[in-house]
Amino acid sequence: MTAVVLEGEFGLTTMLSDLLQQNLVREPSRARLLRECTATLEATDAGVVTTLQVGSGRVVVADGVAARAHLRVRGSAERLLALAAAPLRIGLPDPFRAEGRAVLGDVLRGLLRIEGLFAHPLRATRLMRLLSAAR
């Protein structure tokens, strides 16, 4: 059984918890993506940071910064939402679709930063697939 555990009150934390829960209910096969990974997502314009601790068949979504994280994603709330909404190809934003190109452009311009992408590519693609609201 997979579970999403909410340990926070920030709007970003609640939104991510709801998104993960909906994705796992809608597509139970995503449970295979629940492998060890710690990621922080920071909405720079709102001054809010959320940590996702993935593993052991569950995700803990909490307010604040993890002392150690495999991945750190930083950008405005709008860009974080665009990342979650972008269609994926092999676990990354799809360069053949306008929404995917827009997210990749944000990354290239430094408007959306994904630290750890090259050090932990499998964790990054699993996390993006887990968070993806795109079908």
How confident is the prediction along the chain (135 residues), in pLDDT tens digits per residue?
A: 568 998 888 899 999 999 999 999 999 999 999 999 999 999 999 999 999 999 989 999 999 999 999 999 999 999 999 999 999 999 999 999 999 999 999 999 999 999 999 999 999 999 999 999 986
| Amino acid at the residue 8 | G
CA distance 41 to 50: 5
Q: How far apart are the first and last CA of the chain?
A: 23
The CATH number given to whatever domain includes residue 102 is 3.30.1050.10
Instruction: Name the amino acid, one letter, at 16.
Output: L
State how far the Cα of 120 lies from the Cα of 125, in Å rounded to an integer.
9
Letter for the amino acid at 25?
Answer: V
Domain assignment of residue 78, given as a range:
3-131
Residue 133, classed as helix, strand or coil, is coil
Instruction: Name residues whose C-beta falls within 8 Å of residue 131's C-beta, 6 or more positions apart in sequence.
Output: 16, 19, 20, 23, 83, 84
Each residue of 80-97: pLDDT tens digit? Answer: 999 999 999 999 999 999
How many structural domains comprise the chain? Answer: 1
